[in-house]
Amino acid sequence: MNKGVFLVGLFLTVILSCKPQNTEVNNITIDNLQVVLQNEENVQLLDVRTPEEWAGGVIETPIKIDVTGDDFEGKALEKLDKTKPVYLYCRSGGRSLKASELLAQKGFKVYNILGGYLEWTEKNKE
């Protein structure tokens, strides 16, 4: 009897202590990003476009990792801090969403920037 109770208790302890990873992707607007950039220091802003696209301009000073390049996941794990949120953008939002989903599965808190670099440049015309 005691052995059975012990095993049930052990089983419940193991099950309840297993915390599922948050794999949620949060979508934010360019306006939201501007508020974050104005109010937060050391923001992990990740540009997942290609080097050719980076040459045409970037938002602030991002970390650059081409999501279509070799070993995106390995480079992201090497360059990014899991204890801080990551804000991702691409040209218009498609590639950054895929990259966001991948990083969320790896335990990062991610924010996909809707509209991407195109919307950023449109809203920040001078």
Mean pLDDT of the chain: 88
69 part of a folded domain: yes
7 part of a folded domain: no
Tens-place pLDDT, residues 42-65: 999 999 999 999 999 999 999 999
Among the options 59, 90, 102, 113, which is catalytic?
90
* Cα(57)–Cα(28) distance, integer angstroms: 21
67 part of a folded domain: yes
Tens-place pLDDT, residues 11-38: 444 444 444 455 799 999 999 999 999 9
Residue position matching structure tokens 């953008």: 89
pTM of the model: 0.81
Kindly state the average pLDDT of the residues 73-82: 97
Print the domain residue range for 60: 25-124
Q: How long is the chain?
A: 126
First-last CA distance in the chain: 77
107 part of a folded domain: yes
Tens-place pLDDT, residues 86-106: 999 999 999 999 999 999 999
16 part of a folded domain: no
For residue 81, what is the domain's CATH number? 3.40.250.10
Tell me if residue 90 is catalytic: yes
* Cα(76)–Cα(99) distance, integer angstroms: 10
- CA dihedral of residues 82, 117, 90, 112 (deg, nearest 10): 50
Query: How is residue 59 written in tokens?
Result: 């938002």
The total domain count for the chain is 1
